[in-house]
Structure 1
Amino acid sequence: MSAKNNPDAEAREFLFRDDGRIPNSPLPLLFYPRALSGRDLEPSRCKKLFAGNNWLGAWVNGVFSFHHYHSTSHEVLAVITGSANITFGGENGETVEAGAGDVVVIPAGVGHCNRGSSRDFRVIGAYPEGRSYDLLTGEPDERPQSLENIGNVPLPKADPLSGPDGPLRKAWRP
């Protein structure tokens, strides 16, 4: 299954270095501007799109307003309503304005934080193969285990929007 609205959505790539608190990743974060529109922004359809590409465990909510990351899974976020300024990569990372239709694929270890959003801001999140995820904030005692975890997260078999031949599989190589 692939996104019908913009199947050839070009992904912008962002690389973040370990900042001493947030480990980040050697894999690039992928930002797909306006990849979804119309009915694909309905939660049930967006979840179905992700599930069709084996990104499972979907949920609907916002993005935490503190820097955090996941060391046990990659994550996809699709903005379905509203907009937010989201900082990726830790305190000194890059802030991106994400609005309805934008999709972000966040590698394990990459920090993210909602710096301010519209009242109607909502995302759908999911994980490759429904992997379980943790929630880490960069505390020193988390670091040894989180670095090991990040190194053990497998690459997804498919891009959450475009399937096995999508941009993710080209950008994320072993």
Structure 2
Amino acid sequence: MSIPQPERLHLDSDATTGYPNSPLPVLVYRQVLDLSNAEERAESFEAMFKRHGWPPAWRYHLYDFDHFHSTAHEALGIFRGQARARLGGPNGQELMLYAGDVLVLPAGVGHASLEADDDFCMVGAYPPGQEPEIERGDPAQLAAAQTRVAAVGLPEDSPVGGPLAELWG
């Protein structure tokens, strides 16, 4: 199986809202899995993420409020439905997410669901030893959040496969 090439989205820090975002790009892999059954797609995402060193942690929807994780990178595999999401915090960039897509969010990148199908659901995964804290932007805490983001280790592989350093380098 060939490794798909992701879209790369660069999101700057936003001092007005306190979202650190990241100098590393968000990776958007489109149609990684082309399975018609949502349960099979979820299981395939979980197996893929685990195989590449990102143990799956949950199945859930995307929160409808802007938030970020300053202590962990996050992989999201959309296995059912579609959603209009925002990346980068309240002043961020909108994009559509569809079943079969994967997002790789560097630590610090704001994300929220703006609108989603009732059955929209994802598999979430994090590199070993990284625990996500749910944080919301606070301009007074931006410098501290940026320090935490900078300290998060980089995993060797993308959750979809292939060296992450080439994509985040």
Q: TM-score, with normalisation over the residues of structure 1?
A: 0.88
> Does the alignment pair 1:134 with 2:133?
yes
SS in 1 for 2:142: helix
RMSD: 1.7
The separation in 2 between residues aligned to 1:41 and 1:85, in whole angstroms, is 23
Are the counterparts in 1 of residues 89 and 137 from structure 2 also a CA contact under 8 Å? Answer: no
Matching residue within 147, 165, 169 for 2:165: 169
Cα distance in 2 for residues equivalent to 1:59 and 1:116: 21
SS in 2 for 1:59: strand
Q: Is 1:10 the counterpart of 2:9 in the alignment?
A: no
1:22-49 per-position Cα deviation (integer Å, ceiling 9, x unaligned): 1100000000011112168532332121
Structure 2 residue runs without a partner (length 5+):
none
1:64-122, CA deviations, whole angstroms, 9 ceiling, x for partnerless residues?
A: 11110000010000100000001001122111100000100000001001000001100
Contact 1:56 1:130 in 2 (8 A): no
* Superposition map of 1:95-106 within 5 A: 95-106=94-105
CA shift for structure 1 position 135? 0.7
Judge which range, 27-36 or 126-135, deviates more.
126-135
Moved more, 95-104 or 50-59: 50-59
Amino acid at match of 1:71: S
Question: Which residue is 1:75 aligned to?
Answer: 74
- Sequence identity (%): 33
**Secondary structure, counterpart of 2:55 in structure 1:** strand
Task: Tell me, in whole angstroms, the C-alpha distance in 1 between the residues paired with 2:28 and 2:165.
Answer: 14
Rounded to whole Å, the distance in 1 between the matches of 2:152 and 2:87 is 19
3-state secondary structure, aligned to 1:116:
strand
In 1, Cα distance between equivalents of 2:51 and 2:79: 18
Alignment length, in residue pairs? 165
Q: Distance in 2 between matches of 1:76 and 1:148?
A: 21
Using the alignment, how far apart are the partners of 1:123 and 1:136 within structure 2? Answer: 20
Moved more, 40-49 or 59-68: 40-49
Q: TM-score, normalised by structure 2?
A: 0.90
